[in-house]
Amino acid sequence: MNLATLISVDSIIAEAEPADKWELLELMVDSLSTSSVVRRSGIPQEQILAAVIKREKTNNTGVGNGYAFPHARISGLKGLAVGMAFLQKPLNYESADQEPVDIVCMILAPEKNPTMALKVMAQVIRLFSNQDLRKNTLKVRDSRTIFNILLDAGASSDIPIMARDIMNAPLLDVRRNTPIFEVIQLMASKHLSAVPVADEYGNIIGHITGARLFQLGMPEFMTRLKSVSFICEFEPFEKYFYEKSNALAGDVMTTDFCAMTTVATLLEIVYALTTKNYPMIYVLDGNKLVGMIDQGTVLEQIINF
């Protein structure tokens, strides 16, 4: 399915300069209210706006690199409705990377089949990864011209979801000589179950998991016991605090990690996270670490769309 078949000229915003993201969301819902899907569904505009705002307040939809994908699953919606805004003046969207957004794609989806919406998100990012196309489109102030650009680009949403479409930005500030207490602080602040350890060129050489850190606090003999319920006084992290606090990442990391290419499929990702029980998947472009995926990533971007 071509992206241009999901969007209309009237649902493309090319000239607006909203004061903040809330005003932008209101403008985009207003433009989407003219779409055939929304009109056929007979859902009040106020109900749609409330759903979009609720979703946005639950979790910011700014994905980084200048993109935002505000969205909501709407009960009674008879199909997928897509609208886009191209902002000549980038807008502070409080995105994860703290960068302002200039391409915003709003997706209204039925309660069922949210995967189709994720495919639209993936195709928008792939389409505008062409920097010349992105720059030229952002200069256009006419919705019809932008619609024709999308039509000519032949952006198909009938594509498999790949690692590059759902991965989070990698953390490249953990090196062999990073003190372990800094790694723990990083993992805690970012709510990570694992972090990669990279060399000076950005190539992953190992990783550190939460399970590995817990193991450091346990005497070796306890790992062979079937139960420790009979031990009441032992403090499991006492050994760590006294003996391991000066360790470096290179001393603690393991090389048993899961790496995939940017075109790994969603099925491969879910298989590695569940059947193989990897806490994190590291996405590589060649040898360079370019992204990370854990169970939370999949839950948030796909199951909890």
Q: Which residue ranges make up each domain of the chain?
A: 3-158, 180-303
Topology of domain 180-303 in CATH is CBS-domain (3.10.580)
Terminal Cα-to-Cα distance of the chain (whole angstroms)? 20
Q: Could you give the maximum distance between any two Cα atoms of the chain, in Å?
A: 73
Residue 167 carries which DSSP code?
A: P
Q: Residue 264 class from Cβ within 10 Å (0-12 exposed, 13-18 middle, 19+ buried)? A: buried
Looking at domain 3-158, its CATH architecture is: 3-Layer(aba) Sandwich (3.40)
CB 260 within 8 A of CB 272: yes
Phi-psi region of 98 (alpha: psi -120 to 50; beta: other; left: phi over 0): left
Q: Which amino acid is at 216?
A: L
Among 34-43, 104-113, 220-229, 287-296, the minimum mean pLDDT is found in 220-229
Average pLDDT score over residue span 256-260: 94
Q: pLDDT, tens digit, for every residue of 70-101?
A: 999 888 888 889 999 999 899 999 887 788 99
Bridge pairing between strands 194-198 and 204-209: antiparallel
Q: pLDDT, tens digit, for every residue of 25-61?
A: 999 999 999 888 898 889 999 999 999 999 999 888 8
Q: Other C-beta atoms within 10 Å of 90: how many?
A: 13
Q: Other C-beta atoms within 10 Å of 44: how many?
A: 10
**Whose CA is closest to 101, among 11, 190, 16?**
16
Same fold across 3-158 and 180-303: no
Pair of tokens at residue 187: 């993992």
pTM of the model: 0.63
